[in-house]
Structure 1
Amino acid sequence: MQTDLWNYCLKVYALPGIEHACLSLQCQGLDVCLLLCAAWLEHRRIACDEARFECLRACAEPWQRDVVQPLRQLRTQWREAATHDDELSALRGLIKGLELEAERTLLRRLETATLGWLPAQSQDDCDWLQRLVSRVEHPDHGALQTLRAAINHA
């Protein structure tokens, strides 16, 4: 049975080393939701081409910029102060929940964008992660390999 993108992401993110790999690539400017979507598409052997990649990027970038990143910035900005202020800590927890829900919404949007995309004839046409990571000047190849290994275990 095929799993939806959200449940796939939960399963993969829970695997050893995946959180660290995703955060490492995020620090290099990559979108974790796009990374996990790319892994999901690769796992499902969905054909990758520039038009499809651009469709996903166009879906993700505005949402990340306008919704997810401001929430993340506020949450991280409050990290230190929240260790000494219980009320601020509680508010920070709410912001973290909103950030997670914003990411879940983005993953639903990405999944919707892929409806009707069929598997490729050849596995060579399915290298979503490489296409995404190629946008970074010096990607963390160890993190990329960790993600690739997760595709095979999901």
Structure 2
Amino acid sequence: MQTDLWNYCLKVYALPGIEHACLSLQNQGLDVCLVLCATWLEQRRVACDTTRLECLSGCAEPWQRDVIQPLRQLRTQWREAALHDDELSALRGRIKGMELEAERALINRLEWASLGWLPNQSQGDCDWLQRVASRVEHPDHDALQTLRAAMSHA
């Protein structure tokens, strides 16, 4: 079982169907870094409670809003123009790299925030993925199932 959150995320994201599932949930307004952290905590059988969820959300939301989303918006905004402009395409590639580094920084912050949370013997207290997904109305059920299936392979 992977204990390092970043390496866990890389392994899970590389599994078939995960990228599509994560993008679907992201389009619904969920933070993919927080979603992947939720699967990691759930797999490790760390109990989920409101205080812990709010701790992680409080860590993730400002970083998503102020760092990751502006980079993503700029990268997306340049998508069409970069197809016909090599210099812009190169800049867009660097923005994409910065966005990935910002996501890695957030993953590190989430791992740091949850460092003292030890595994619990009861699986009943561990529905992190459902708790995170409930933050949006009607989360993509298929995407959540894909993520749940991936937890057994990571």
TM-score, length of structure 2 as denominator length:
0.98
Counterpart in 1 of 2:51?
51
Query: Match for 1:90: what amino acid?
Result: A
* Separation of aligned partners in 2, 1:80 and 1:2: 38
* Separation of aligned partners in 2, 1:74 and 1:135: 26
Counterpart in 2 of 1:38?
38
Counterpart in 2 of 1:114?
114
Moved over 3 A (4+): none
* Separation of aligned partners in 2, 1:139 and 1:38: 15
Compute the RMSD of aligned alpha carbons: 0.8
Q: Deviations over 1:27-62 (max 9, x none)?
A: 000000000000110111111100000000000000
Q: Deviations over 1:65-90 (max 9, x none)?
A: 00000000000000000000000000
Counterpart in 2 of 1:71?
71
TM-score, length of structure 1 as denominator length:
0.98
Q: Is the 8 A contact 2:2 2:8 kept in 1?
A: no
Relative to structure 1, the CA distance from residue 18 to residue 137 in structure 2 (aligned partners, 3 Å threshold; closer, same or farther) is same
Q: Which runs of 5+ in 1 are unaligned?
A: none
Counterpart in 1 of 2:6?
6
Are positions 1:127 and 2:127 aligned together? yes
* Separation of aligned partners in 2, 1:6 and 1:70: 22
* Separation of aligned partners in 2, 1:112 and 1:31: 17
User: Counterpart of 2:68 in 1: which secondary structure?
Assistant: helix
Question: How much does 1:3 deviate?
Answer: 2.8
* Separation of aligned partners in 2, 1:61 and 1:39: 18
* Separation of aligned partners in 2, 1:135 and 1:73: 22
Identity %: 83
* Separation of aligned partners in 2, 1:102 and 1:71: 9
Counterpart in 1 of 2:90?
90
Counterpart in 1 of 2:148?
148
Q: Which runs of 5+ in 2 are unaligned?
A: none
Question: How much does 1:2 deviate?
Answer: 4.1
Counterpart in 2 of 1:81?
81
* Separation of aligned partners in 1, 2:101 and 2:84: 26
* Separation of aligned partners in 2, 1:74 and 1:21: 23
User: Counterpart of 1:153 in 2: which secondary structure?
Assistant: coil
